[in-house]
Amino acid sequence: MKKAIVAACLALVLCLPLAALADEVKIGFHAPLTGWAAADGQSALRGAQLAVEFINADGGINGNKVAMVYYDDRIEAKESVIVARKLIESDRVVGVVSGSYSTPTRAAAPIYDRNKVPYISTIGTHPEIPMNRDYVFQIAVMSPIHGRVGAWMAAETLKAKSAVLLVMDNDFGSAVTDGFRIMAPKYGINILKEYNYPLGEKDFRSLLSNIKNDNPDVLWASGYYEEAAQIAKQAKELGLKATIIGQEGYDSPKFFELAGDATNGVVITTNLDRGSQSPMAQKFLAEFFKQHKVAADMVAASAFDGMLVMAHAIKTAGTKPDDIAKAIGEMKNFEGVATGPLLAFDAQGVVTRYIPVQIVKDQAFTSLTVCKDPKLITP
C-alpha cells in the first residue's frame, strides 16, 4: 500500500510539469542578478519580464502563454555554463535570451549551439559569441561601432578637433576604443594621448590632471557606469573642460545616482533612443517607468528586445530549433522592438541597426543625433 502511495505521488509530481508544458512556451533567460554587474542584471530581468507581460497580454504565441525561466549567472563564465545545462536539460526551453555581459555569454554560446537551442545575446558584444554558430545571434551593438559612431559624432556634431582616449583595460573597453582610434583621424580629429586604467579603478584624479594639461576638445572614455560616474565627477571637480564621450556602458540610472550633476553634458552612443518615435519604444519607456519608478536603461531595453525577437521568431516559424534560427536570421526591418528597427542579420547572426547618440540634460539621457551611415553601423 505504502509503495502504491509513493508511486502515485511520484507519478503526480512527474506529470505536473508535463501538464504545464502543454500550453506554454518556455523561453530561458540569464543575467547577473548578483555580483558586480547586479544593477545591470536586475534591470535586464525587468526588461525581459516586461516583454513576457506584453507578449502574453497580446495573446501569447499562437494562443500559448510564454513562460520565462530565468537564472542568475553571477557574471561568471562557469556559472553561465551550469545555467545553460539546466535550461537545456531540465527546463527544456525552446530558446534562450542572454541579458548578460560578454564573458558569461561567450562561455555559454557553444553549449546552446551544440544542443541546437536558439540563443540571443542582447548586451554581450564580443564578436566571437555568434561566430560560426548557426543557433547563436547577437542584437547587441558590436563594440567597434560605438567608437566609429563616437568619432563621427565628435567631428560632425561637436566639431571637435582633438581628443584624448581614456581606455578601460578589458575586452569591452579596448574594443570600443579601437573603432574610435581608427575613425577619428579620418574625420580630422587629432588624438593627443591615450591612457589606460584597470577595471574597478576608483581614483582617476591623477590621470585627469594630466588630461587637463593635454587640453583636448573631447575625452573619449570607455567604461561601465561605476567608472564612468567617477570619471565624470572627478573631471568636474578638477575643472576639465573637454566633453566626455561614453558608450552604452554608461547607460544606467546608477550613473546619475552616483555622479549627480556632474553627468550633465556627457554624450554617449547606445541603442535606446529616448526620443524615439517608434510606438513600441514609447510603450516600453512609459510602462517600464510606471512599474519601477525609474527610467529604463539600454540593458532593460536590450533584454526586452531579445525576448520579443525570440517570441516573434517562434510565432512565425513554430518551435523547431532550425526553423526558429532561420526565422531570426531572415528578419528584416523588424519594428516591434524598443531599440528598433533591427535592419537585418548578417551571415554571422549579428544585427545591423541605427545608432542613437544621447546627451545628458538634467540628469537624464535625451536625443542628440542618430547615425544611419552604413559605413559606420555595419558590423
Partner 1 sequence: MGTFLENLVTGAALGSIYALISIGMTMVYGLLKILHVAHAGVYVFGALLGLLAFRLTGSILFAFPAAVLGCALMGYLLYRFMYRRVQDEKPLIPLIVGIGMFTAMGDAYRLAAGPYSISFEHGLAQTGIVLGTFHISFNQVLVIGSAAALLVLVWLMVNKTKTGLAWRASAQDREVAMGIGVNSNYMFGLNFMFGSALAGIAGVLVGLYYGAVNANMGEVWAYKVFVVMVLGGLGNVTGTVIAAYLLGLAETFIISSWGYFLPRDAIAFICMILVLILMPNGVMGKRKQV
Query: Is 362 a residue that touches partner 1 (CB under 8 A)?
Result: no
C-alpha cell at 361: 540634460
Span of 12-20, 145-153, 229-237, 276-284 interacting with partner 1 by CB under 8 A: 229-237
Smaller CB separation from partner 1, 169 or 330: 169
| Minimal distance, residue 293 CB to partner 1, in Å | 16
Bridge partners, 162 (sequence order) = 190
- Of 187, 156, 102, 168, whose CA–CA distance to 267 is shortest? 156
| Minimal distance, residue 209 CB to partner 1, in Å | 4
- Of 256, 220, 247, 274, whose CA–CA distance to 140 is shortest? 247
Smaller CB separation from partner 1, 201 or 323: 201
What is the rounded distance in angstroms from the CA atom of residue 80 to the CA atom of residue 106? Answer: 9
Among the listed residues 165, 176, 262, 350, the single contact to partner 1 using CB under 8 A: 262
Smaller CB separation from partner 1, 222 or 269: 222
Residues 289, 258 contacting (CB under 8 angstroms) = no
What is the rounded distance in angstroms from the CA atom of residue 307 to the CA atom of residue 220? Answer: 32
| Minimal distance, residue 106 CB to partner 1, in Å | 22
What is the rounded distance in angstroms from the CA atom of residue 150 to the CA atom of residue 245? Answer: 7
Query: Is 236 a residue that touches partner 1 (CB under 8 A)?
Result: yes
| Minimal distance, residue 131 CB to partner 1, in Å | 30
Query: Is 210 a residue that touches partner 1 (CB under 8 A)?
Result: yes
Residue listed under C-alpha cell 508535463: 18
Q: What is the DSSP letter of 261?
A: G
Residues 235, 214 contacting (CB under 8 angstroms) = no
What is the rounded distance in angstroms from the CA atom of residue 62 to the CA atom of residue 193? Answer: 56
Q: How far is it between the farthest Cα atoms of the chain?
A: 86
The footprint of partner 1 on residues 65-124 (CB under 8 A) is none
- Of 128, 337, 123, whose CA–CA distance to 225 is shortest? 123
Among the listed residues 51, 111, 259, 301, the single contact to partner 1 using CB under 8 A: 259
Query: Is 294 a residue that touches partner 1 (CB under 8 A)?
Result: no
Among the listed residues 82, 110, 191, 260, the single contact to partner 1 using CB under 8 A: 260
Give the pairing of strands 95-98 and 24-31. Answer: parallel
Helix (H) or strand (E) holding 218: strand 218-221
Smaller CB separation from partner 1, 199 or 344: 199
Number of residues that bind partner 1 (CB under 8 A): 35
Among the listed residues 154, 229, 337, 350, the single contact to partner 1 using CB under 8 A: 229
Query: Is 297 a residue that touches partner 1 (CB under 8 A)?
Result: no
Smaller CB separation from partner 1, 203 or 335: 203
Smaller CB separation from partner 1, 225 or 304: 225
| Minimal distance, residue 44 CB to partner 1, in Å | 14
Helix (H) or strand (E) holding 144: helix 143-156
Among the listed residues 192, 258, 344, 370, the single contact to partner 1 using CB under 8 A: 258
The footprint of partner 1 on residues 25-54 (CB under 8 A) is 34-36, 38-39
Buried b / exposed e over 70-81, threshold 16 CB at 10 Å, is bbbbbbbeebbb
The footprint of partner 1 on residues 131-170 (CB under 8 A) is 169
Total number of residues shown for the chain? 379
CA distances from 324 to 116, 119, 137, 364 (A): 10, 10, 11, 37
- Of 132, 89, 135, whose CA–CA distance to 321 is shortest? 135
Span of 12-20, 89-97, 225-233, 348-356 interacting with partner 1 by CB under 8 A: 225-233
The footprint of partner 1 on residues 170-209 (CB under 8 A) is 195-198, 201-203, 205-207, 209
Query: Is 261 a residue that touches partner 1 (CB under 8 A)?
Result: yes
- Could you list the residues that contact partner 1 (CB under 8 A)? 34-36, 38-39, 169, 195-198, 201-203, 205-207, 209-210, 212-213, 226, 229-230, 233, 236-239, 254, 257-262
